[in-house]
Amino acid sequence: MKKTESIGAVNSRAPKKPNTTPYYIRESQAMDWRISLGLFFSVVWTVVLLAYLSGAVGWANMADLPIEKLGGFLEGSFAPLAFLWFVLGYFSQQKELRQNTEAIKMQYVEIQKSADQATIQAEATRDTAFHARQESFLRTYEIVKEQLGSIIGFLYISSQGSIGAGIVPPEKISLLWGTMSTDPEIFSRKLMELSFLHGQVYGYKLMFGTEIRTRHTDNFMSNFERLLEAARDSDTNGMMEDAVKGSGHGHLYMRMINFKTSPPPGFTLGVYDFDPESFD
């Protein structure tokens, strides 16, 4: 017995679930008290009228009344009911209008929620597309970085290998090429070192001293500029572009631009009337 009472006490203390049905829907599901009142008065009025006809007038006398008098009697008899239902109908329409207004408000709220959700989804889609562009660029960057390293490798050989001055032995060049797999920018750094070590004139000769070197340099600059364009498309903040420019290839590219736009005094781009291997 005590166990049953304890269970009942727990059930009585359990919170009741709130009715989540909108108010205007709950209200429309119940009969309006105005309709109930109208039905009550209509029944009462009809019973009183029938009693009056049966007791005071008589059904036989009603049958003998001329049609115009019978119509006037019925009109006067049901006029109060007609007025009553007219008033009740007016208030009932007000109630329906209020319910429609509530429904429109609820629809507006749902539309706002849908619009907010659509905005959130659009932002999520935009962020996903943005990250996808960045990931695609990073994969492309690794491939292009190796391609640029190969171009600079040929440029390095044309000046330092047996084709050029022959300063660097083939074994050393082979070792540098082997390092390319893990460090694609090694030849760019080597050219930067030579350029800073021997000055502006020799740096210009390294990049534009012969037709072959000029062709390698132009090829490198063209591919690097395409890489910069892809970096701009993948990141509106410019961080990707700055990172590419800050790499070894990027520093060499900027030095090539400076030499191409402003050759050292006494040199003209595309004119090779000098010794490409000398330091002066």
Which DSSP string do the residues of 214-231 spell out, in sequence order?
A: HHHHHHHHHHHHHHHHHH
Residue 252: phi and psi, rounded to 5, are -65, -40
Q: How far is CA 270 from CA 203, 259, 277, in A?
A: 15, 12, 16
Domain ranges of the chain: 31-123, 131-261
The CA distance from 169 to 165, in Å, is: 10
**212 confidence band (pLDDT: 50, 70, 90):** very high
Give the pLDDT score at 163: 66
pLDDT of residue 3 exceeding 50? no
Per-residue pLDDT band at 137 (split at 50, 70, 90): confident
Q: Any residues with CB less than 8 A from the CB of 187 and at least 6 apart, and which?
A: 149, 152, 153, 155, 156, 176, 180
Segment 174-198, tens digit of pLDDT:
898 889 889 999 999 999 999 999 9
Placement of tokens 């534009």 in the chain: 208
Among 231, 221, 230, 223, residue whose Cα is nearest residue 257: 221
pLDDT, tens digit, for every residue of 96-131?
777 788 888 888 888 888 878 877 887 777 767 778
What does each C-alpha distance from 145 to 18, 133, 216, 239 come to in angstroms?
Answer: 64, 18, 15, 17
